[in-house]
Amino acid sequence: MDWAFQRRMMVSRQLRGRGIRDERVLQAMLEIPREEFVPEEDRDGAYVDEPLEIGYGQTISQPYMTALMAQCLELEGHETVLEVGAGCGYHAAVLGVLAARVFAIELIPELAAMARENLEKTGRAGNITVIAGDGSLGYPPEAPYDAISVAAAAAEIPRALLEQLKDGGRMVIPVGPYSDQELRVVRKRDGEIDWHVAAYCRFVPLREAAPRVD
Protein backbone atom coordinates (compact mmCIF):
# COMPACT_ATOMS: atom_id res chain seq x y z
CA MET A 1 0.00 0.00 0.00
CA ASP A 2 1.33 3.43 -0.96
CA TRP A 3 0.44 5.28 2.23
CA ALA A 4 1.86 8.61 1.09
CA PHE A 5 -0.40 8.48 -1.97
CA GLN A 6 -3.36 7.62 0.25
CA ARG A 7 -2.64 10.66 2.42
CA ARG A 8 -2.39 12.94 -0.61
CA MET A 9 -5.74 11.68 -1.89
CA MET A 10 -7.29 12.18 1.57
CA VAL A 11 -6.11 15.77 1.72
CA SER A 12 -7.14 16.53 -1.85
CA ARG A 13 -10.54 14.85 -1.97
CA GLN A 14 -11.84 14.54 1.57
CA LEU A 15 -10.41 17.72 3.09
CA ARG A 16 -9.82 20.37 0.41
CA GLY A 17 -12.71 18.98 -1.57
CA ARG A 18 -15.05 19.50 1.39
CA GLY A 19 -13.95 22.98 2.35
CA ILE A 20 -10.97 22.64 4.69
CA ARG A 21 -8.83 25.69 3.95
CA ASP A 22 -6.35 25.99 6.82
CA GLU A 23 -3.04 25.11 5.14
CA ARG A 24 -1.40 24.21 8.45
CA VAL A 25 -4.14 21.66 9.17
CA LEU A 26 -3.85 20.21 5.66
CA GLN A 27 -0.08 19.92 5.98
CA ALA A 28 -0.34 18.27 9.40
CA MET A 29 -2.70 15.64 8.07
CA LEU A 30 -0.44 15.09 5.09
CA GLU A 31 2.43 14.39 7.50
CA ILE A 32 0.79 12.17 10.13
CA PRO A 33 0.67 8.45 9.19
CA ARG A 34 -2.93 7.69 10.11
CA GLU A 35 -2.39 4.00 9.28
CA GLU A 36 -0.10 3.74 12.31
CA PHE A 37 -2.94 4.76 14.63
CA VAL A 38 -5.60 2.25 13.55
CA PRO A 39 -5.75 -1.45 14.44
CA GLU A 40 -3.69 -3.70 12.17
CA GLU A 41 -6.77 -5.47 10.82
CA ASP A 42 -8.32 -2.17 9.69
CA ARG A 43 -5.21 -0.64 8.17
CA ASP A 44 -6.43 -0.99 4.57
CA GLY A 45 -9.29 1.37 5.49
CA ALA A 46 -7.14 3.91 7.30
CA TYR A 47 -7.89 6.67 4.78
CA VAL A 48 -11.56 5.98 4.19
CA ASP A 49 -13.58 9.01 5.29
CA GLU A 50 -15.39 7.32 8.15
CA PRO A 51 -14.72 6.54 11.81
CA LEU A 52 -13.03 3.25 12.68
CA GLU A 53 -13.31 1.19 15.85
CA ILE A 54 -10.19 1.15 18.00
CA GLY A 55 -11.48 -1.09 20.80
CA TYR A 56 -13.18 -0.55 24.16
CA GLY A 57 -16.27 0.84 22.41
CA GLN A 58 -14.33 3.84 21.07
CA THR A 59 -13.50 5.11 17.58
CA ILE A 60 -10.98 7.20 15.68
CA SER A 61 -12.89 10.04 14.01
CA GLN A 62 -13.22 10.29 10.25
CA PRO A 63 -10.42 12.38 8.69
CA TYR A 64 -12.75 15.22 7.70
CA MET A 65 -14.03 15.64 11.26
CA THR A 66 -10.48 15.65 12.63
CA ALA A 67 -9.53 18.37 10.14
CA LEU A 68 -12.66 20.42 10.77
CA MET A 69 -12.18 20.38 14.54
CA ALA A 70 -8.54 21.38 14.20
CA GLN A 71 -9.42 24.16 11.76
CA CYS A 72 -12.08 25.53 14.12
CA LEU A 73 -9.45 26.01 16.83
CA GLU A 74 -7.51 28.46 14.60
CA LEU A 75 -4.16 27.40 16.03
CA GLU A 76 -1.06 29.44 15.17
CA GLY A 77 1.67 27.32 16.76
CA HIS A 78 2.29 28.92 20.16
CA GLU A 79 -0.72 27.51 22.03
CA THR A 80 -1.17 25.04 24.86
CA VAL A 81 -4.05 22.71 24.00
CA LEU A 82 -6.12 20.28 26.02
CA GLU A 83 -7.56 17.32 24.14
CA VAL A 84 -10.36 15.39 25.84
CA GLY A 85 -10.70 11.84 24.53
CA ALA A 86 -7.21 10.91 23.33
CA GLY A 87 -8.31 7.54 21.97
CA CYS A 88 -5.53 6.08 19.84
CA GLY A 89 -3.56 9.36 19.75
CA TYR A 90 -4.14 10.42 16.13
CA HIS A 91 -5.96 13.67 16.84
CA ALA A 92 -3.34 14.55 19.46
CA ALA A 93 -0.65 13.97 16.84
CA VAL A 94 -2.35 16.42 14.47
CA LEU A 95 -2.74 18.99 17.25
CA GLY A 96 0.89 18.48 18.19
CA VAL A 97 1.96 19.72 14.75
CA LEU A 98 -0.29 22.78 15.09
CA ALA A 99 0.41 23.85 18.71
CA ALA A 100 3.34 24.19 21.10
CA ARG A 101 2.04 21.79 23.78
CA VAL A 102 -0.78 19.25 23.89
CA PHE A 103 -2.17 17.54 26.98
CA ALA A 104 -4.38 14.66 25.89
CA ILE A 105 -6.55 13.01 28.53
CA GLU A 106 -8.19 9.60 28.10
CA LEU A 107 -10.58 7.87 30.50
CA ILE A 108 -9.72 4.29 29.46
CA PRO A 109 -6.20 3.41 30.69
CA GLU A 110 -5.62 0.87 27.92
CA LEU A 111 -6.35 3.48 25.27
CA ALA A 112 -4.13 6.01 27.02
CA ALA A 113 -1.32 3.46 26.84
CA MET A 114 -2.12 2.81 23.16
CA ALA A 115 -1.99 6.54 22.42
CA ARG A 116 1.40 6.88 24.09
CA GLU A 117 2.76 3.90 22.16
CA ASN A 118 1.43 5.19 18.83
CA LEU A 119 2.85 8.66 19.42
CA GLU A 120 6.23 7.25 20.40
CA LYS A 121 6.53 4.92 17.41
CA THR A 122 5.62 7.70 14.97
CA GLY A 123 8.02 10.18 16.57
CA ARG A 124 5.21 12.54 17.62
CA ALA A 125 5.45 12.33 21.41
CA GLY A 126 7.87 15.20 21.98
CA ASN A 127 5.33 17.93 22.78
CA ILE A 128 2.37 15.70 23.70
CA THR A 129 1.56 14.38 27.17
CA VAL A 130 -1.09 11.66 27.49
CA ILE A 131 -2.89 11.42 30.82
CA ALA A 132 -5.20 8.63 31.95
CA GLY A 133 -8.11 10.36 33.68
CA ASP A 134 -11.60 11.82 33.56
CA GLY A 135 -11.66 14.29 30.70
CA SER A 136 -14.96 15.83 31.81
CA LEU A 137 -12.93 17.37 34.66
CA GLY A 138 -10.28 18.71 32.32
CA TYR A 139 -6.68 18.73 33.51
CA PRO A 140 -6.22 21.51 36.10
CA PRO A 141 -2.42 21.21 36.55
CA GLU A 142 -1.75 22.81 33.15
CA ALA A 143 -4.78 25.13 32.93
CA PRO A 144 -5.73 27.56 31.56
CA TYR A 145 -5.61 26.41 27.93
CA ASP A 146 -5.54 28.45 24.76
CA ALA A 147 -7.71 25.82 23.09
CA ILE A 148 -9.65 22.70 24.07
CA SER A 149 -10.69 19.93 21.68
CA VAL A 150 -13.29 17.41 22.88
CA ALA A 151 -13.73 14.18 20.92
CA ALA A 152 -16.81 12.89 22.76
CA ALA A 153 -20.36 14.18 22.99
CA ALA A 154 -21.66 15.91 26.10
CA ALA A 155 -25.26 16.69 27.01
CA GLU A 156 -23.99 20.15 27.90
CA ILE A 157 -20.56 21.76 27.95
CA PRO A 158 -18.79 20.70 31.18
CA ARG A 159 -18.27 23.64 33.52
CA ALA A 160 -14.76 22.45 34.36
CA LEU A 161 -13.73 22.80 30.72
CA LEU A 162 -15.17 26.30 30.45
CA GLU A 163 -13.31 27.31 33.59
CA GLN A 164 -10.03 25.92 32.24
CA LEU A 165 -10.36 27.74 28.90
CA LYS A 166 -8.20 30.86 28.80
CA ASP A 167 -9.92 34.18 28.18
CA GLY A 168 -9.76 34.66 24.43
CA GLY A 169 -9.55 30.89 23.97
CA ARG A 170 -11.53 28.52 21.78
CA MET A 171 -13.12 25.13 22.38
CA VAL A 172 -14.61 22.69 19.90
CA ILE A 173 -17.05 20.14 21.36
CA PRO A 174 -19.93 17.96 20.16
CA VAL A 175 -23.07 18.63 22.22
CA GLY A 176 -26.32 16.68 22.22
CA PRO A 177 -27.75 13.15 22.42
CA TYR A 178 -26.09 10.22 20.67
CA SER A 179 -28.14 10.46 17.48
CA ASP A 180 -28.19 14.23 16.94
CA GLN A 181 -25.20 16.36 17.96
CA GLU A 182 -23.97 19.85 17.16
CA LEU A 183 -20.27 20.47 16.76
CA ARG A 184 -20.01 23.73 18.66
CA VAL A 185 -17.17 26.23 18.47
CA VAL A 186 -17.06 28.00 21.82
CA ARG A 187 -15.23 31.25 22.51
CA LYS A 188 -14.53 32.95 25.81
CA ARG A 189 -14.27 36.74 25.69
CA ASP A 190 -13.97 38.86 28.84
CA GLY A 191 -15.39 35.97 30.82
CA GLU A 192 -18.45 35.68 28.56
CA ILE A 193 -19.20 32.57 26.49
CA ASP A 194 -20.58 32.50 22.98
CA TRP A 195 -20.71 29.72 20.44
CA HIS A 196 -21.81 28.74 16.96
CA VAL A 197 -22.47 25.43 15.23
CA ALA A 198 -19.78 24.34 12.77
CA ALA A 199 -21.43 21.08 11.69
CA TYR A 200 -23.68 18.26 12.78
CA CYS A 201 -22.00 15.08 13.91
CA ARG A 202 -22.14 11.84 15.85
CA PHE A 203 -19.50 11.06 18.49
CA VAL A 204 -19.34 8.47 21.22
CA PRO A 205 -20.62 9.84 24.57
CA LEU A 206 -18.36 11.71 26.95
CA ARG A 207 -17.97 9.31 29.85
CA GLU A 208 -17.08 10.17 33.41
CA ALA A 209 -15.05 8.05 35.79
CA ALA A 210 -17.14 5.81 38.00
CA PRO A 211 -17.51 7.17 41.55
CA ARG A 212 -15.21 5.64 44.10
CA VAL A 213 -16.80 3.19 46.51
CA ASP A 214 -15.01 2.87 49.86
Are 183 and 172 in contact by the 8 Å Cβ rule? The answer is yes
Q: Minimal CA–CA distance to 164: which of 183, 188, 182, 184?
A: 188
**DSSP single-letter state for residue 207:** -
Q: Is 61 a catalytic residue?
A: yes
Torsions phi, psi of 48, nearest 5?
-75, 140
Q: Minimal CA–CA distance to 87: which of 122, 51, 121?
A: 51
Q: Which of 61, 136, 149, 179 is catalytic?
A: 61
**DSSP single-letter state for residue 155:** S
Residues recognised as catalytic: 61
